Amino acid sequence: MRAGWFLFAIGVGLLRQLEGQAVPKFELSIVHDTVSGERAQLQPFTQDVDEILSGGRGGRLCDQVKQVAGYLRLLEQDKHYFFWFFESRNDPVNDPVTLWMTGGPGCSSGIALFAENGPCHVNEHGDGTINNQYSWNERSNMIYIDQPGGTGFSYGKDDHFEKGVTADMDIFVREFMRKFAQFRENQFFIFGESYGGHYVPSTAHRIFENNKASDLKINLAGVAVGNGLTDPYIQYSYYARMAFNSTTVPARVSKKTFKKMAKKTPSCLSEIEKCNHPNHPKKDCLKALNQCNKDLVVPYTSTGYNVYDMRRKCKGCTNNFTNVEKFLNSKRVQNILGVHKKWQSCNKGVYKDMSADFTRSYAWTVPALLEAGIPVLIYAGDCDYICNWMGNKAWTLALKWSGQDDFQAAQDTPWMVQDEQAGIMRSANGFTFLQFFQAGHMVPKDQPEFSQAMFNSFILNGDI
C-alpha cells in the first residue's frame, strides 16, 4: 500500500518531540502531517500546557517519555484510526515495540492505557493522572490503537468483519514503521484482550503473510491474548461447566440450571458450526450469537453475578470508566491530543456492526505463526466467566499444529513470580497457556504487578 493512500495527523508527545529538536519543558508540540500523493505538509504549533502537566490532583497528563498521539487516515475508505505511542522508560532505541488492541468489539484501547497497563491511570476525579509503576512501557515501546473505526477517538467508515480490520492494522503498522524508521528493526509484539482474541491473531497472521511480499518487513516476534474469544465453538462449550464448577469460585448456578445449560449447549454449537461454514449467510452468525447468549450467558447473568468477574455481584455488569471519560473529554486534553470527538469507553454501534463476526473462529490463524517460530501466549484470569480460562485452555489443547502432541503431553506447572505462585502454565514449542490466579476479564487491572512480570518475561525471553 503506497504512502499516498493514508494520512498521518500526529500529535507529538509531552516534553519532547519524537522527531526533531526537543521542546521546552511544559510545552507540547503537535504536528499534523498530511500525506497526499507524494506531498507532505507539516504544520507545527506549540501550546503552553503547564497547568495540565503540573496542576490538579492528578499531576501530569501521562508520563514524561517521548510520545505521539494522532491519526492514521486511509483515504480510499475515509477511516481515521487514533493511536497513542509511548516510548519505553528503559531503552527505547533497543526495546521492543508492542501494539495493544482492546476488544469489545468497539472498546477503546484508552481503557487499557488509563486503567490497566498504560504509563498512567486517571485519578478518581477524572481531572488528572497518576503514574503507573507497573506500566508495560517499563521495558517496551507501546502503541495503543482505537479500532475498528468508530471506536474511542477513531472515526470513519464502519467495519463489519475482521478481514477489513486486519487489513487496516497491517497498513497501520507498516506506515508507522515507515514514518518512525528508528523502530523498524526492533522486535514487534501484538497483545490484546477480550474480543482481541479475534483481532490479535488475525492481525498477526496478516502481517506475517504480507511480510513475504512487502518491501518493509515487520520483525514480528510474539503474539499474546488475555481472556480472549478466539474459538467460540470450543469456548461456548465450557460455559455451563464454568458456571457450576469453575474450581476458582463457588457454583454460581444451581445444579438444575447447570443441567439445562448443558442440555442446550449442543444446539448452540450447531449454530456456531453453521456460522463457520464457508460462504455462510450473515443471518447464521447472528442466530448463533443470539441463541448461544440466551441459553448459556443469560442463565448466569440472572444470578446477579458479574460476567467479567465471578467473585463480584453485578453493578451494571461493566467496569466504570466515567473518570476516564471525563478526563479524555475535557477540552484541554482534547486540544493537546488534537482530537474533536466525544470519547466513549465502548461504542455499541461498533459492537452491533461487528456482531455477525462474533461466533467465527480465528484459531486457524495461530498455527502458521507457531510453525514459523513466533511464540504465542494465551493467558486468562481464572475468575472471568465470559472468556473463561476453561474454554481458553481447551481451544489451545485442541489446536492442530505440528507441536500439538508435545503441547498436550506437557505438564501443568506452577507459574511463580518472586517465590509466589501466580498461576498455572503449560508450554511447548513456543505455545504457552497461563491460568492467571485471582484475576477477572482484565488481568492487568486485577493483577498489575504479576501481569507486568508476565509481559516482561514474554517480550524479553519469548516465554514466561
Which residues are catalytic, by number?
194, 384, 441
Which residues are 85's β-sheet partners? 68, 143
Mapping DSSP to helix (H, G, I), strand (E, B) and coil, where does residue 52 land? helix
Residue 323 corresponds to which cell in the numbers above?
473518570
**Closest of 160, 166, 248, 231 to residue 197, by C-alpha:** 231
- From CA 333, how far away is CA 313, in angstroms rounded? 34
Beta-carbon contacts of 14 under 8 Å, excluding residues fewer than 6 positions away, are: 28, 49, 53, 60, 61, 62, 63, 64, 67
Q: Is 418 left (phi over 0), alpha (psi -120 to 50) or beta?
A: left
CA dihedral (145, 147, 149, 154) positive or negative: negative
What secondary structure does DSSP assign to 374-414, as a single string?
A: --EEEEEETT-STT-HHHHHHHHHH--STTHHHHHHSPPEE
Three cell numbers written together for 408: 498436550
Determine phi and psi for 150, rounding to 5 degrees: 100, -15
Grid cell listed for 66: 517521548
Bond preceding residue 119 cis, omega within 30 of 0: no
* Nearest CA among 211, 82, 73 for reference residue 153: 82
C-alpha cell at 437: 490466579
Extract the C-alpha cell encoding 21.
529538536
* CA 326 centroid distance within chain: 22
Is the distance from CB of 312 to CB of 294 less than 8 angstroms? Answer: no
Distance (Å, whole) CA 402 – CA 430: 11
Residue 185, φ and ψ in degrees, nearest 5: -85, -10
* 3-class SS of residue 421: strand
Whole-number Å distance between alpha carbons of 106 and 117? 19
> Cell 525471553 sits at which residue?
461
- Dihedral in degrees, nearest 10, Cα atoms 181, 182, 187, 190: -60
